[in-house]
Amino acid sequence: MLLFSLEKPLKGVDVDVVLNESYEQSYGIFNHSSAAANPLSIVSMHESERYTEGTGLYNLIARYLKHPIKDRFGLNVVEFCNLPREFTEELIRLSAIGQAAPAGATEAELRRLENELRGGK
Protein backbone atom coordinates (compact mmCIF):
# COMPACT_ATOMS: atom_id res chain seq x y z
CA MET A 1 0.00 0.00 0.00
CA LEU A 2 1.50 3.31 -1.09
CA LEU A 3 0.84 6.10 1.43
CA PHE A 4 2.36 8.92 -0.62
CA SER A 5 4.41 9.62 -3.72
CA LEU A 6 7.71 11.48 -3.84
CA GLU A 7 8.87 14.01 -6.37
CA LYS A 8 12.37 14.14 -4.88
CA PRO A 9 14.28 12.00 -2.37
CA LEU A 10 13.76 12.65 1.35
CA LYS A 11 16.53 13.55 3.74
CA GLY A 12 17.28 11.34 6.76
CA VAL A 13 15.25 13.35 9.29
CA ASP A 14 12.30 13.56 6.91
CA VAL A 15 12.39 9.79 6.38
CA ASP A 16 12.35 9.28 10.16
CA VAL A 17 9.30 11.55 10.56
CA VAL A 18 7.42 9.91 7.68
CA LEU A 19 8.15 6.41 8.96
CA ASN A 20 7.10 7.31 12.51
CA GLU A 21 3.85 8.82 11.27
CA SER A 22 3.23 5.78 9.08
CA TYR A 23 3.92 3.43 12.00
CA GLU A 24 1.56 5.33 14.33
CA GLN A 25 -1.20 5.40 11.72
CA SER A 26 -0.76 1.73 10.78
CA TYR A 27 -1.00 0.54 14.39
CA GLY A 28 -3.83 2.89 15.35
CA ILE A 29 -1.75 4.93 17.78
CA PHE A 30 -2.55 8.30 16.22
CA ASN A 31 -3.97 9.53 12.92
CA HIS A 32 -1.63 12.28 11.75
CA SER A 33 -4.08 13.23 9.00
CA SER A 34 -6.76 14.18 11.52
CA ALA A 35 -7.73 17.69 12.58
CA ALA A 36 -6.29 17.00 16.06
CA ALA A 37 -2.78 16.61 14.63
CA ASN A 38 -0.22 19.31 15.26
CA PRO A 39 3.54 19.56 14.65
CA LEU A 40 4.29 17.96 18.04
CA SER A 41 1.93 15.00 17.56
CA ILE A 42 4.85 12.86 16.39
CA VAL A 43 6.60 13.20 19.78
CA SER A 44 3.52 13.35 22.01
CA MET A 45 2.47 10.43 24.16
CA HIS A 46 -0.91 9.22 23.04
CA GLU A 47 -3.41 7.33 25.19
CA SER A 48 -2.91 4.12 23.23
CA GLU A 49 0.81 4.21 24.11
CA ARG A 50 0.20 4.26 27.86
CA TYR A 51 1.59 0.98 29.11
CA THR A 52 1.76 1.44 32.88
CA GLU A 53 -1.78 0.33 33.60
CA GLY A 54 -1.95 -3.42 33.50
CA THR A 55 1.69 -4.06 34.33
CA GLY A 56 2.54 -6.39 37.21
CA LEU A 57 3.85 -3.57 39.39
CA TYR A 58 0.82 -1.35 38.72
CA ASN A 59 -1.54 -4.20 39.60
CA LEU A 60 0.41 -5.08 42.75
CA ILE A 61 0.31 -1.49 44.01
CA ALA A 62 -3.41 -1.27 43.21
CA ARG A 63 -4.03 -4.45 45.22
CA TYR A 64 -1.89 -3.09 48.09
CA LEU A 65 -4.11 0.00 48.18
CA LYS A 66 -7.32 -2.03 47.93
CA HIS A 67 -6.46 -4.25 50.90
CA PRO A 68 -5.32 -2.93 54.31
CA ILE A 69 -1.84 -4.46 53.99
CA LYS A 70 -0.12 -1.68 55.98
CA ASP A 71 -2.65 -1.86 58.82
CA ARG A 72 -2.64 -5.65 59.06
CA PHE A 73 1.01 -6.46 58.42
CA GLY A 74 2.87 -3.17 58.95
CA LEU A 75 4.45 -3.20 55.51
CA ASN A 76 4.81 -0.05 53.44
CA VAL A 77 4.33 -0.28 49.68
CA VAL A 78 8.06 -0.63 48.93
CA GLU A 79 8.53 -3.42 51.49
CA PHE A 80 5.42 -5.16 50.16
CA CYS A 81 6.53 -4.93 46.51
CA ASN A 82 9.99 -6.29 47.40
CA LEU A 83 8.53 -9.50 48.84
CA PRO A 84 8.50 -12.64 46.67
CA ARG A 85 5.30 -13.03 44.68
CA GLU A 86 4.03 -16.01 46.70
CA PHE A 87 4.26 -13.89 49.86
CA THR A 88 2.42 -10.92 48.35
CA GLU A 89 -0.30 -13.24 47.07
CA GLU A 90 -0.66 -14.84 50.50
CA LEU A 91 -0.82 -11.47 52.27
CA ILE A 92 -3.48 -10.27 49.85
CA ARG A 93 -5.45 -13.49 50.30
CA LEU A 94 -5.30 -13.22 54.10
CA SER A 95 -6.21 -9.57 53.97
CA ALA A 96 -9.23 -10.31 51.76
CA ILE A 97 -10.35 -13.03 54.17
CA GLY A 98 -9.89 -10.59 57.04
CA GLN A 99 -12.05 -8.00 55.32
CA ALA A 100 -14.85 -10.48 54.71
CA ALA A 101 -14.70 -12.31 58.05
CA PRO A 102 -15.16 -11.18 61.65
CA ALA A 103 -12.07 -9.66 63.28
CA GLY A 104 -10.84 -12.77 65.13
CA ALA A 105 -11.50 -15.26 62.32
CA THR A 106 -8.06 -15.06 60.71
CA GLU A 107 -5.87 -14.76 63.81
CA ALA A 108 -4.59 -18.33 63.50
CA GLU A 109 -3.73 -17.83 59.83
CA LEU A 110 -2.02 -14.53 60.60
CA ARG A 111 0.08 -16.14 63.34
CA ARG A 112 1.00 -18.99 60.99
CA LEU A 113 2.09 -16.53 58.30
CA GLU A 114 4.05 -14.41 60.76
CA ASN A 115 5.92 -17.51 61.92
CA GLU A 116 6.59 -18.46 58.32
CA LEU A 117 7.90 -14.96 57.51
CA ARG A 118 10.23 -15.13 60.50
CA GLY A 119 11.61 -18.46 59.34
CA GLY A 120 9.67 -20.65 61.75
CA LYS A 121 7.41 -23.54 60.91
Please indicate, yes or no, if residue 23 is contained in any of the structural domains: yes
pLDDT the model gives residue 117:
79
Please indicate, yes or no, if residue 6 is contained in any of the structural domains: no
Count of domains in the chain? 2
Residue with the larger pLDDT of the pair 39 and 103: 39
Burial code (b: 16+ CB inside 10 Å, e: under 16) for 58-68 equals: eebeebbeebe
108 & 88 share domain: yes
33 & 75 share domain: no
Residue-wise pLDDT for 51-91, tens only, equals: 777 788 999 999 999 998 998 889 999 999 999 999 999 99
38 & 64 share domain: no
Residue-wise pLDDT for 17-56, tens only, equals: 888 888 888 888 888 888 888 878 877 877 777 777 778 8
112 & 61 share domain: yes
Q: Indicate the DSSP class of residue 46.
A: P
Please indicate, yes or no, if residue 2 is contained in any of the structural domains: no
Alpha helices in the chain (DSSP H): 12-26, 56-66, 69-73, 77-82, 85-100, 107-117
Please indicate, yes or no, if residue 99 is contained in any of the structural domains: yes
**Which residues form the domain of 83?**
56-117
63 & 93 share domain: yes
pLDDT the model gives residue 92:
93
66 & 99 share domain: yes
pLDDT the model gives residue 103:
57
Please indicate, yes or no, if residue 112 is contained in any of the structural domains: yes
Please indicate, yes or no, if residue 38 is contained in any of the structural domains: yes
pTM of the model: 0.48
45 & 60 share domain: no
Please indicate, yes or no, if residue 1 is contained in any of the structural domains: no
